[in-house]
Amino acid sequence: MASSLQDGFGRSFRYLRVSVIDACNFRCVYCLPQGYCKDPTQDRPLDQNEFQNLFAGFAALGVVKIRLTGGEPTLRRDLVELVAMAKQTPGIQEVALSTNGYRLSALLPELLAAGLDAVNVSIDSLRPDIFKETTGQDLLERVRGGVEEAIAAGLRVKVNAVLMRGVNDSDLPLFAAFVRDRAVSVRFIELMRTGGNLELFEKHHISAQVIQKTLEADGWYQRARGPTDGPAREYKHADHQGSLGLIAPYAKDFCDSCNRLRISCRGELKLCLFGDGQHSLRAFLQRPDQRDELHLAVQSLLGHKKVSHFLQEGQYGNTQQFASIGG
Ligand code: SAM
Ligand code: SF4
């Protein structure tokens, strides 16, 4: 089925990132340095019924891939049910999860049984002290254990590391060694500025180009891009089973391949990670017979999606941290 979700710049949106919770048990320095703090003025997160209507409504518009994210999605008690529900939605071909890995090992058998296809695990450093410094948790071995089990179980696994100057920018050889014998993709995400991390950003931001140059000098070559690939650039090497990738939001062509829309855990559509607007769809998620209204609302909102995030011009939107929208 062709996607009805297209914007005015020729981009199609078949990939939906859905935050299922905004709480988190880690304190990543660039995201929730003081830890999660509940805002009592906020409405409750969507319930299963609302998620079911959301998944089915977007699948009917041509979405084929759903990623559940957070906050930390594994803190939600009904995560396994949500994975199963997404997977059983007609039209959805792939269900993925983004997690800090804290409960990955414990939940793995149930997630597999629910039909999970792929998992992205955040590991900013393979050095235990730096992992602890960046996440506030001394849990590298536990998280790595979950990753190894997920690989052994046949899940598609990606590891995400947020690149920070003077913190983990010297970890490249460790990550390259990690993917030598594992069919895993490690992707370095350029640190992004949010409303809440200006000081950290100015101190630690480093362009992904620096890593790109090192990779190319070390014999890594860029894998040809597929027509439906998102903005990540993947690099392969003759001696390595896995791959290394770069997510470089400050690169000038980054938005050309944008293929995703985002939903907050309260049912707000966010057209761009860095945009100002979030538009509540909650009123259209109460019953399955409100699907036409949902479709009209989403298609009309998509008309407001901008060609680029305009980050280079210093615009970074109203997001305080990505835990609220899922990164
Ligand atoms: N808690 C889960 C996790 O950490 O994987 C899922 C939510 S987290 C917000 C999703 C992704 O956003 C993670 O890979 C995280 O490292 C990334 N992220 C959060 N804040 C970021 C920032 N300011 N710049 C770049 N990446 C960021
Ligand atoms: Fe939590 Fe993920 Fe944010 Fe880290 S990046 S604080 S694990 S939501």
Q: Pick 90 or 249 by higher pLDDT.
A: 90
Ligand nearest to the CA of 120: 1
Does the pLDDT value for residue 51 go beyond 90? yes
pLDDT at 207: 92
pLDDT at 233: 92
pLDDT at 250: 79
Q: How much distance in Å is there from the Cα of 86 to the middle of ligand 1?
A: 22
Is the beta carbon of 122 within 6 A of some atom in ligand 1?
Answer: yes
Strand pairing partners for 26? none
Instruction: Report the nearest atom of ligand 1 relative to the CA of 327.
Output: 12
- For residue 308, count CB atoms less than 10 angstroms from its CB and return exposed for 0-12, middle for 13-18, buried for 19 or more: middle
Q: List the chain domain ranges.
A: 15-324
Q: What are phi and psi of 251, to 5 degrees?
A: -70, 145
Q: Which residue has the tokens 């957070």?
A: 70
Question: Strand 118-122 and strand 156-163: pairing?
Answer: parallel
Please enumerate in sequence order all residues whose Cβ is within 8 A of that of 46, keeping only pairs 6 or more positions apart, or say none: 20, 54, 265, 266, 267, 282, 285
Task: Find which of 9-18, 84-93, 253-262 is predicted with most confidence, using mean pLDDT.
Answer: 84-93
pTM: 0.94
Please say whether the beta carbons of 236 and 225 come within 8 A.
Answer: no
Strand pairing partners for 245? 187, 234
Q: Using a pLDDT cut of 70, give the percent of the chain over it.
A: 93
Q: How much distance in Å is there from the Cα of 296 to the middle of ligand 1?
A: 31
Is the beta carbon of 7 within 6 A of some atom in ligand 1?
Answer: no
Does the pLDDT value for residue 117 go beyond 70? yes
Domain 15-324 has CATH 3.20.20.70: yes
Please say whether the beta carbons of 53 and 81 come within 8 A.
Answer: no
Element (H, E) at 269: strand 268-270
Instruction: Report the nearest atom of ligand 1 relative to the CA of 194.
Output: 23
pLDDT at 46: 97
